[in-house]
Amino acid sequence: MLLRRLEYTISGTISAVSLEVVGGATTTLSNSYGKWTGRPSSRIPTGTQVIVHAKSSANQTARTPPFGYLVTTSPVTACGASDGGGGTDAGTDAGGTDASDCSNALNPTWSQGSGANNWWVEYAVVPNTNIARVYLEVVGGQTVQLSPKYGKWVGRPNGKLATGATVTVHAQDKAGNQAQTVPFGYLSVKNPTTQPCSN
């Protein structure tokens, strides 16, 4: 069986890139004609949760949050993902942002909506006026993209979200600033706090 080739364009001065299947294998990618490519050891089904990791020539690192393979074509960089402090040169390409965009310029408050349950995600993110994107990440699991509706961000997960499952909620404003909550127990913590950014 012919395995699909992995292919990502990543901005910055990058020295190493890999794709990790959450709970599975990691594939090291090679730089070829301006893209990072490689073939996994086994087929990766569409929608599988994966993470792309990158390292800059200055030995700084960045990664995406988990996202659906072949579903999310321009993943963002995980807030605070740089281990070098003060941002990193390792970022994603068009449609994404780099870790320097993880800024305390965006410092929202988060509150679970009254309609939230194991099959429906609902959060108010305040201030909401400049928010462009919100999603919920199940640590080690699925990512739920949320849509604005009646002043809240809502969405339906692919499967039941267990009460107490460790999750984070992420937000990005129209200027590209990012913020995320600290990991918290789904439905158990109704007002999670914002995780301070590293820069």
pLDDT at 197: 61
pLDDT by residue for the chain (199 residues), tens only, comes to 346 789 998 877 889 999 998 878 899 999 988 899 999 999 998 888 888 989 888 788 888 877 888 887 777 776 554 433 333 333 333 233 333 345 557 889 999 999 999 999 999 999 877 899 999 999 878 899 999 998 999 999 999 999 999 999 999 888 878 888 888 999 999 999 988 764 4
Residue 62 near residue 98 (C-beta atoms within 8 A): yes
Q: Looking up tokens 């942002």, which residue turns up?
A: 97
Domain ranges of the chain: 6-101, 109-185
1.10.3470.10, 3.40.1440.60, 3.40.1260.10, 2.60.40.760: which CATH number matches 109-185?
Answer: 2.60.40.760
Give the integer Cα–Cα distance in Å for 155 and 102. Answer: 24
Q: How far is CA 19 from CA 52, 74, 96, 99, 116, in A?
A: 4, 14, 16, 18, 33
Contacts of 131 (CB under 8 A, 6+ apart): 108, 125, 148, 153, 171, 172, 173, 174
pLDDT at 62: 85
